[in-house]
Structure formats: C-alpha cells, structure tokens
Homo-oligomer: A and B are copies of this chain.
Amino acid sequence: MAHCIVPAAEEILDKEFKVLDKGFVRMVDYYGSDSRIVQAARVSYGEGTKTVSQDGALIDYLLRHQHTSPFEQVVFTFHLKMPIFVARQWVRHRTGRMNEVSARYSIMKDEFYVPELSCISKQSSDNKQGRGELFDKSQAEEFQAAFCAGQKKSYEVYKDMVDKGAAREIARINLPLALYTEFYWQMDLHNLFHFLKLRLDSHAQYEIRVYAEQILEIIRTVCPMAVSSFENTMAKSVTFNGEEMEALRCILNGQKNPIQDEKKLKRFNEKIKTGIQL
C-alpha cells in the first residue's frame, strides 16, 4: 500500500476554518492515517502482535503503553493565521516545523486581534495566569476601544515609515503582539497529541485553546481511531500520584483517607470530581 487517502479528510483539505476574529486553521496536507500507525507498529512487533487483531484495539494498546513511535509516522501540515502572542506560545513546541511570514521581507498587513467583550475579563483571583470574572459591559467596551485605537495608531506609524523608505525590519518593531502572523506548521501525531493535551487544558490561554480545538476536529477526519483513543486515554485521563493512589486504595477498601494536608486533600478531591489538576 502507498498513500493514505481518507475521504473525510479530502473533503476539508485546504479549507479555511475561522478561529478568533481574523485567524484560521487550514490543513494543507496529511501524511498517513490510522492504517499507517498500525502498519508501523506491526513492523516493531511483527509476529508478536498476531493476536491483537483489530486496528482500534492495537492503537489503544499503543497509546495506553506509551509506545509512541508509531504515532510519529503520521504527519500534518497546517497553514495557520494567529496573533503573535499566540504564535509565541505555539513555537515553544519545538518538534513542530515552521515557515513563518517574515516581517523583514514582507510588509505586514493591517490585521490585529481585537478580543470580544466576553474575552476582556478580570485577572483570576486563584489562578495566577488566568482570567476570572467579566467586567461590566461599559468597562469592557472602553478597553476594547483602547485596543482598536492603539492598533490603528501603531499601524499608521508603521505604514508611514515604510512609505518613507524605512527598512521593514526596523519599521515593524512597534507593531503590537496582537498583530496577525501566518505560518506553515508541520507536526507529527505523537507530538501533536502532547500539544493538544496541554493546549486543550483549562489552564491554557483561551486564544490558543480555540486553535487546539479546531485542530482536534480537523485531525479527527484523518485518523478517527487514534483521535478517539487520544480523547479517552489522554485528554480525559487523570493521573494520581503515589500518595493519592494510597489514599484511593484506602477509600476503596473502606478505610479512612490518609491524606491530612488540606491543600493535598483539596487537589485530590478536585481531581476525582472534575479531573482538573490544581
């Protein structure tokens, strides 16, 4: 067998899925699918896997046991458009391969992220890196207007400098982090699952989470079994540490929870209730 062509994926190939106010995710190409994962795994385990007869079961087994290399054999290329402050988080995933528009070569377009009113919230009181309650509408509108005005002004200055012949690489230094950038991004499925695990998490910034969610839906068309296995095995999984496992065993045996420390207890209970790691 050769190229993996998946009809459901073909349908959305090259289609721009809108994210945020001016961004998008577009799958440029995909390489491999569920069958490639199985094929690669069978190279490793050879005769040894004869009894694991079904593909879905094998994929599940691989993910459960962290036999991650067959998932590296599936690769995606996305064309992404997102604000620079999101791209700065994105690029920290060093296994991705990126070709980004260069502001040294090209004149940047007048496109900035303007958050919706519901996204301009207060600092969370218990999460040092997150958002909390909403502002009242007029305050949010005031902030939104300030964003727009600042973006307009900074682009005017940029455009003026470029028009007067200034080097692009220096003219762009005052453009704001909300400026939209574009890039090609190639990522293999193993590392993409790790990316998604972190970026679908409730602690991830909203503006990157929406890209992660869109990507999850796109790759579901390419390798539905692997994505389904990911959701059960990774995305919805909860990890208990050694101390918590002891506690779990005690409780299930009808004994008293040995965890005394208040914070630890809170974390343990939250994990069981919501799956969230505090």
A9 closest partner in B (C-beta): B2
By the criterion CB–CB under 8 Å, are B236 and A242 in contact? yes
Across the interface, which residues of B come within 8 angstroms of A177, CB to CB? 84, 172-177, 179
Instruction: Tell me if A157 is interfacial: C-beta within 8 Å of chain B.
Output: yes
What mask results when residues 238 to 254 of chain A are scored 1 for a CB within 8 Å of chain B, else 0?
A: 11111101001101100
Across the interface, which residues of B come within 8 angstroms of A239, CB to CB? 237-240
A32 to B186 Cα, complex, angstroms: 12
By the criterion CB–CB under 8 Å, are B157 and A105 in contact? no
By the criterion CB–CB under 8 Å, are A2 and B31 in contact? no
Given A31-B75, A166-B122, A175-B176: A129 in contact with B104 (beta carbons within 8 A): yes
By the criterion CB–CB under 8 Å, are B233 and A241 in contact? yes
Across the interface, which residues of B come within 8 angstroms of A129, CB to CB? 48, 102, 104-105, 168-169
What mask results when residues 138 to 171 of chain A are scored 1 for a CB within 8 Å of chain B, else 0?
A: 0100010011001101100100111011111110
By the criterion CB–CB under 8 Å, are B252 and A45 in contact? no
Which of B84, B105, B205 is within 8 Å of A45, CB to CB? B105
A154 closest partner in B (C-beta): B150
By the criterion CB–CB under 8 Å, are A232 and B241 in contact? yes
- Give how many A residues have a beta carbon under 8 Å from the other chain's beta carbons: 122
What mask results when residues 90 to 116 of chain A are scored 1 for a CB within 8 Å of chain B, else 0?
A: 011011011111111111000001010
Q: Which of A13, A69, A162 has the most CB of B within 10 A?
A: A69
By the criterion CB–CB under 8 Å, are B65 and A203 in contact? yes
How far, in Å, is A157 (CB) from chain B's closest CB?
A: 5
Across the interface, which residues of B come within 8 angstroms of A119, CB to CB? 170
Of the listed stretches A36-44, A210-218, A219-227, name the one at the interface; the rest are far from the partner chain: A36-44
Which of B100, B150, B168 is within 8 Å of A44, CB to CB? B100
Instruction: Tell me if A23 is interfacial: C-beta within 8 Å of chain B.
Output: no
Across the interface, which residues of B come within 8 angstroms of A166, CB to CB? 120-123, 135, 143
What mask results when residues 59 to 70 of chain A are scored 1 for a CB within 8 Å of chain B, else 0?
A: 000001110011
Across the interface, which residues of B come within 8 angstroms of A49, CB to CB? 105, 128
With A44-B101, A91-B92 known, 6 other A-B pairs at CB within 8 A are A65-B277, A73-B77, A104-B205, A231-B242, A237-B242, A238-B240
Interface residues in chain A, defined as those with a beta carbon under 8 Å from any beta carbon in chain B: 1-5, 10, 13-14, 28-29, 31-32, 36, 39-41, 43-49, 64-66, 69-70, 72-73, 75, 77, 79, 83-85, 88, 91-92, 94-95, 97-107, 113, 115, 119-124, 128-132, 135, 139, 143, 146-147, 150-151, 153-154, 157, 160-162, 164-170, 172-179, 182-184, 186, 188, 198, 203, 205, 231-233, 235-243, 245, 248-249, 251-252, 272-273, 275, 277
